[in-house]
Amino acid sequence: MPPETICKIVRQYNKFPISKEDMEKLKEIAEDYGKVKNYVYQRYSGMKSLPKLYPGYTIQNEMTRCGMREGLQMPSVYFYLAVFDAIGAIKSRWTKTKGEILKAIRQNEGFTEEEQHFLRYVLKVNNAFEAALNGSLLKLPKEVQRQYDFLAGKVDVHKMENYLRRQVRRYHHPPHAGKPDGFSITAKAYRYGDEGIYISVKEKRKRIFIPLTDHNTYTRQLFVRLYPEERNVELQIPVDRTVKKHEDYNRHVGISIGMLTMVVTDEGHCYGEEFGEYQTRLSDWIRKQSVIYSQNREANPGRKKYDAAKKRLEEQLHSYINQELNRFLREEKPGKVFIPKLPKPMGAGKGKKINHYAAMWQRGYIRERLMIKCREQSVEVREVFGKDISNQCSSCGSLGRKKDSRFVCSKCGYEADVKQNAAQNAKNRGENIETFPDYKNLRLRKFPDDGK
Ligand SMILES: [Zn+2]
């Protein structure tokens, strides 16, 4: 078996500011690239075009014939990349739409079980979905056709198809290319050399040269991201990295993620103890800036300066998070990490300030980075259900109370740091689920509410 790999984006940067002239040429490609994408979006995002999306040659041929490339005088390498890029985006938009419809079906209690079954089946089988929306004839492999007929026999197909069409009209919005900020490029249109990269532009047989800060070379498809105002570019390259395996990583570790200390383990080890300070510094700064901004809205305080400073602070915070997550893996050597699921987003009316702060504290970023790092090191991450995870006693299972940062159980007398107790619960729940898969369905024992 080939070693398991994961895809990572590596980045390269220009060594010197790019000349105005060259930046204009790059912008020209990006703008054309965006035009082509938007054209494909407009023409092929709808229901009628669904049959053309798989495998996509029809769209490619129609785009060749439509004369747009000649009109823009665009090198064909960029033109077809833009077309494929757009087709990819349309496909993922459909995946999202189907997801929304599935959710709507689950929540619509008016459906019989057979109807739900039928609708889910149609959403799963590409051809059936297209045929249902467009009222065209179904062409399915024999076995699939048999299943379809069986499910269709139990429902009013016409009614179901109308329902699907209505949902598509409701949820399906064509993508839009937005501000043209870059373009993809294959090895046909670039060449590494002379400590930089040569990139084809619209003028025939002309390439512009960009010196780079590192001398790595690649052969894959790159994305060239433009920052015209700063006169910078960023090359983004997807690279396959081999997953590392550690023989000695085999411990079970429960963790709790917090706003002050980033990670607390079930044994009470702390990682990212300065996280709260970094976090406060960033949010204080943003608060101060927004006051300054509202005071001299007229005087036009430089937005660019603000963005650059904010980006710098965020980068510091992120590099601290990454460094501490690395230390967590190195020192704990986990084989499995148990982490509570995220609670549902807070409903409206809970106070804007709290929501703002909660949104600011990078919880999503920490989890995402943890997941990626664990995958890179072959460490398994298990999410456990999070209800009452910080109120339950990890020793006896009753509900206890929190006093400052301590957890106290009045039933058995157990006492621990709130976060450590939660991490112990995460570990208990994770291990219990592995032993008794039905564990999550067990109700928590309710005790008299002595916590308030
Ligand atoms: Zn207890």
Give average pLDDT by consecutive 10-residue segment, the chain, 452 residues: 78 94 95 95 91 85 92 92 94 92 87 90 86 79 84 88 92 86 93 95 89 93 93 92 89 94 96 92 83 68 74 88 96 96 60 51 87 92 91 92 91 94 95 66 42 34
Give 388 Cα–ligand 1 centroid separation in angstroms: 14
CB neighbour list of residue 112: distance below 8 Å, 6 or more residues apart: 155
Q: Is 231 helix (H, G, I), strand (E, B) or coil?
A: coil
Q: What residues make up the domain containing 324?
A: 251-384
Give 393 Cα–ligand 1 centroid separation in angstroms: 5
- Which residue carries 């298990």 as its tokens? 382
Give 415 Cα–ligand 1 centroid separation in angstroms: 8
Q: 363 lies in a domain?
A: yes
Give 269 Cα–ligand 1 centroid separation in angstroms: 21
Q: Provide the terminal-to-terminal Cα distance of the chain, rounded to the nearest Å.
A: 57
pLDDT of residue 296: 67
- 55 prior amide bond cis, ω within 30: yes
Give 400 Cα–ligand 1 centroid separation in angstroms: 7
Give 176 Cα–ligand 1 centroid separation in angstroms: 55
CA 343 to chain centre: 18
Give 441 Cα–ligand 1 centroid separation in angstroms: 21
Neighbours of ion ligand 1 (CB under 5 A): 393, 395-396, 409, 411-412, 414
Q: Are 212 and 15 in contact (CB under 8 A)?
A: yes
CA 225 to chain centre: 19
Give 392 Cα–ligand 1 centroid separation in angstroms: 8
Q: Crossing angle for the helix pair 20-44 and 57-65, nearest 10 degrees?
A: 120
Give 156 Cα–ligand 1 centroid separation in angstroms: 55
pLDDT of residue 89: 93
Q: HSE-up of 289 (CA within 13 Å, CB side)?
A: 17
Give 405 Cα–ligand 1 centroid separation in angstroms: 17
Give 333 Cα–ligand 1 centroid separation in angstroms: 29
Give 380 Cα–ligand 1 centroid separation in angstroms: 29
How does strand 222-227 pair with strand 182-185?
Answer: antiparallel
Give 416 Cα–ligand 1 centroid separation in angstroms: 11
Give 391 Cα–ligand 1 centroid separation in angstroms: 10
Give 268 Cα–ligand 1 centroid separation in angstroms: 18
Instruction: Report the C-alpha gap between 397 and 400 in whole angstroms.
Output: 9
Give 389 Cα–ligand 1 centroid separation in angstroms: 13
**Which residues of 363-438 form beta strands (DSSP E)?**
380-384, 401-403, 406-408, 415-417
- State which amino acid sits at residue 85: D
Give 208 Cα–ligand 1 centroid separation in angstroms: 69
CA distances from 422 to 63, 135, 359, 416, 427 (A): 57, 54, 21, 10, 9
How does strand 270-271 pair with strand 406-408?
Answer: unpaired
pLDDT of residue 192: 96
Backbone angles phi, psi at 11, to 5 degrees: -125, 145
pLDDT of residue 441: 47
Sign of CA dihedral 329, 330, 336, 340: negative
Q: 335 lies in a domain?
A: yes
Give 385 Cα–ligand 1 centroid separation in angstroms: 19
Give 411 Cα–ligand 1 centroid separation in angstroms: 5
Q: 6 lies in a domain?
A: no
Burial degree of 404 (CB within 10 A; 0-12, 13-18, 19+):
exposed
- State which amino acid sits at residue 293: Y
Give 406 Cα–ligand 1 centroid separation in angstroms: 13
pLDDT of residue 439: 52
Q: Which two tokens stand for residue 424?
A: 């112990």
Give 396 Cα–ligand 1 centroid separation in angstroms: 4
Length reported for the chain:
452
Give 263 Cα–ligand 1 centroid separation in angstroms: 23
pTM over 0.75: no
User: Among 182, 221, 186, 212, which residue's Cα sits nearest to residue 200?
Assistant: 186
Helix (H) or strand (E) holding 139: none
Burial degree of 183 (CB within 10 A; 0-12, 13-18, 19+):
buried
Give 399 Cα–ligand 1 centroid separation in angstroms: 8
pLDDT of residue 437: 56
pLDDT of residue 443: 44
Give 408 Cα–ligand 1 centroid separation in angstroms: 8
According to DSSP, the residues that pair with 236 across neighbouring strands are: 11, 223
Give 413 Cα–ligand 1 centroid separation in angstroms: 6
Give 331 Cα–ligand 1 centroid separation in angstroms: 29
* Number of structural domains the chain divides into: 1
Q: 304 lies in a domain?
A: yes
pLDDT of residue 448: 39
Q: Are 241 and 376 in contact (CB under 8 A)?
A: yes
Give 339 Cα–ligand 1 centroid separation in angstroms: 21
Instruction: Report the C-alpha gap between 382 and 385 in whole angstroms.
Output: 10
Give 341 Cα–ligand 1 centroid separation in angstroms: 23
Give 404 Cα–ligand 1 centroid separation in angstroms: 18
Q: 324 lies in a domain?
A: yes
Give 254 Cα–ligand 1 centroid separation in angstroms: 18
Give 266 Cα–ligand 1 centroid separation in angstroms: 16
